[in-house]
Amino acid sequence: MTEDEIKQNFSHNLLKLRKSRNLTQTKLAEALNYSDKAVSKWEVGAVLPDIETLVCIADFFGVKVNDLIYSKKRNIDRKFTIKNLVITFLSILGVWLIAAITFYILTSTTNLDRLYLIFIGALPISFILAIIFSSLWFNKLAVFISISGFVWTGLGTIYLILNSTAYWFIFIIGIILQVMVTLGCFLGKILTRR
């Protein structure tokens, strides 16, 4: 492999990894203690960083140096995404495990009604975790879906806890919040393009 091929592979892989974390060149440069101009030169394939810097970049993204300089970019993205998906789903399953244990303990020790609400309450908590992990690792669509899920499961949980049809207006609030979330996501996309 020639030096030009290594530069090209590295620039492509670095760009993909940076975007997969929703980082700007400036944010990546700050994290690596380099200038954003250096990151820009790396991404256009003008310059290849020294070996120590390659090791730092690989450590930062949780990949091997070989993954940065070889053209197997799809495998990098897939490994990164699968690992993050597993962590996300395990965290969300932890919420449901806690809900199940709490439900079992309370049904065994108390005579409370409507204990099923424990599971209903686990829904918005699961979406809070999804928002956090989507913001860290996934694309903006995943963040949008997570926020929307939180809005509707949160409002649905409140409605069920209040246990009265008199609170139907909660769903009007949901529609307004959904419009705000949608506009926020689309306006954010439009503003970041400029």
pLDDT-derived band at 4 (thresholds 50, 70, 90) equals: confident
Cβ(42)–Cβ(35) below 8 Å: no
Is pLDDT at 167 greater than 70 in this prediction? yes
Burial 56-69 (b: 16+ CB within 10 A, else e): bbbeebebeeebbb
Per-residue confidence (pLDDT) for residue 21, from 0 to 100: 86
Mean confidence (pLDDT) of the chain: 85
> Can you tell me the distance from the alpha carbon of 153 to that of 173, in angstroms, rounded to the nearest whole number?
13
Buried b (16+ CB within 10 A) or exposed e, 71-83: eebeebeeebeee
Residue 27 one-letter amino acid:
K
Percent of the chain with pLDDT over 70: 92
What is the distance between the alpha carbons of residues 150 and 156, in angstroms, rounded to a whole number?
Answer: 10
User: Given pLDDT bands bounded at 50, 70 and 90, which one contains residue 190?
Assistant: low
Q: What is the pLDDT of residues 80-118, one digit of tens each?
A: 578 888 899 999 999 999 999 999 999 999 888 888 899
160 is written with which tokens? 């069920």
Q: What's the first-to-final CA gap in the chain, in angstroms?
A: 37
Query: How long, in residues, is the chain?
Result: 194
pLDDT tops 60 at residue 162: yes
* The predicted structure's pLDDT at residue 80: 59
SS3 content of the chain, % helix, strand, coil (to 5): 80, 0, 20
d(CA 96, CA 163): 23
